[in-house]
Amino acid sequence: MGMTITEKILAAHAGLERVEPGQLINARIDLALGNDITAPPAIKEFKALGVKKVFDSERIALVPDHFTPAKDIKSAEQAKVLREFASEQGITNYFEIGRMGIEHCLLPEQGLVGPGDLVIGADSHTCTYGALGAFATGIGSTDLAAAIATGECWFKVPETIHFRYHGNLKPWVRGKDLILYTIGQIGVDGARYMSMEFSGEAIEALSMDSRFAMANMAIEAGGKNGIFHVDEKTLDYIKGRLKRDYKIFQSDPDANYAKVYDIDVNNIGPQVALPHLPENTKSVYELGDIKIDQVVIGSCTNGRMEDLRVAAEILKGQKIHPEVRVIIIPGTQQIYAEAMAEGLINIFIEAGAVVSTPTCGPCLGGHMGILAKGERALATTNRNFVGRMGHPESEVYLAGPAVAAASSVKGRIAAPEEVVK
């Protein structure tokens, strides 16, 4: 019996010829990640261990992105903990304001993650890097403390579900729509502690930005990780970017899958997840008149160049509805600069949106877009739990940038075709 991509990566990093689902292993890591919320408690535990030096100062990334620029004294002190630890330990991959970005947009952009890597991060959306053919998963702060001390982490080898997408994508449909549709089919616990492997001709047609969006939301189905096969698009992305050697793993033809889903994309339209779970999905064409107060375009799910280009295509020459606030957040400084060079920022400002420095900000109800009681937001973010973006009696709807941009013009959740004829 063969092995899946995930099983092969875990076996290689555990120094084993093969692994089986359910097996407990100890594996070396290629990169450990922490942010301004999760790293401070990890640093505290690291120091409590009595360890003087991290296992490798070049294989740790610290990214203050959730509450930066600091929104208050407490968030400033959290960021200060990262800054001082990075200086003390000589950590090379520390990203301060002006050089930072939303962590899961930033690390691939900076060439810190590549095919075949084993990456852990004290953030649940670390699974984003599976788009590059890496095994990437979220962990807790105490596990991060042990990992930065030893360079290793323990895992239970997950079973794998294979999702095969067939057919041709409809206009305006991107990776965000496919993953929302998928979560709608299997539920938020449909892949609990399982690897979600994505393939098929519809996947091959996706850009890397769309693949990042899909892998990012594997956790919203309960997945341990999401992972893609490495192809020419992957190799083009890492060319001139990745700073070290890599190894490509592919699933064997006789690999054992817990389940296989064949999904026809021909009839999948732009998706919207209604409150209060990502599984509450419907096609935008099925929705009635749902008025909105705020639109957020950004986050580690949809803050990349493809997302901004799609939003700009719809907003060009349009005016945002007078009763809607629109916040656009490029994922990194590099994305911000590229969007500026292409004239996208001007399009957003002329339409009536505000453009923010890279930050997670409103996605987790942090800052720069908190909802009041009774307000509704349509966001390109990844979660719409009760109180996720502010008041517990507010509502968050999830969608891709095309629906978000169109809705900002109409003042209600709207299909892109309503704005772009």
**Domain boundaries defined on the chain:** 5-263, 271-416
3 state SS of 220: helix
5-263 sits in which CATH class? alpha beta
* DSSP type of residue 130: G
Are 189 and 352 a contacting pair, CB within 8 Å? no
Strands 159-166 and 194-199: parallel
In DSSP notation, 44-93 reads HHHHHTT--S-S-TTSEEEE--SSTTT-SHHHHHHHHHHHHHHHHHT-SE
Q: What is the pLDDT of residue 254?
A: 95
Are 403 and 292 a contacting pair, CB within 8 Å? no
Q: What is the pLDDT of residue 24?
A: 98
Judge whether residue 421 has pLDDT over 80: no
CA distance 79 to 38: 11
3 state SS of 399: strand
Domains 5-263 and 271-416 share a fold: yes
Are 179 and 206 a contacting pair, CB within 8 Å? no
Judge whether residue 385 has pLDDT over 80: yes
Q: What is the pLDDT of residue 363?
A: 86
Mean pLDDT, the chain, rounded, equals: 96
pTM here is: 0.94
Judge whether residue 173 has pLDDT over 80: yes
Q: Which CATH architecture has domain 271-416?
A: 2-Layer Sandwich (3.30)
Using CA atoms, how far residue 61 sits from 96, 183, 398, in Å, is 11, 30, 29
Judge whether residue 319 has pLDDT over 90: yes
Closest CA to 340 of 317, 312, 368: 312
Are 358 and 350 a contacting pair, CB within 8 Å? no
Query: Dmax of the chain from CA atoms?
Result: 64
Distance of CA 6 to the CA centre of its chain: 19
In DSSP terms, 261 is beta-bridged to 163
What are the helix and strand counts (H, E) for the chain? 14, 18
Q: What is the pLDDT of residue 61?
A: 97
CA distance 308 to 8: 35
Distance of CA 36 to the CA centre of its chain: 17
pLDDT-derived band at 327 (thresholds 50, 70, 90) equals: very high
* DSSP type of residue 281: E
Judge whether residue 98 has pLDDT over 90: no
Using CA atoms, how far residue 99 sits from 68, 104, 123, 359, in Å, is 12, 14, 20, 12
What is the tens place of the pLDDT at every residue in 106-126?
Answer: 999 999 999 999 999 999 999
Strands 294-297 and 325-328: parallel
Closest CA to 125 of 106, 110, 111, 142: 106
What is the tens place of the pLDDT at every residue in 46-67?
Answer: 999 999 999 999 999 999 999 9
Q: Which amino acid is at 121?
A: G
Q: Output the CA torsion sign for 353, 354, 355, 358.
A: negative
In DSSP terms, 379 is beta-bridged to 296, 398
Residue 119 structure tokens: 């990456």
392, HSE (Cβ side, Cα atoms, 13 Å): 0
Look at phi and psi of residue 345 and say left if phi exceeds 0, alpha if psi is from -120 to 50, else beta: alpha
Q: What mean pLDDT is predicted for residues 362-381?
A: 93
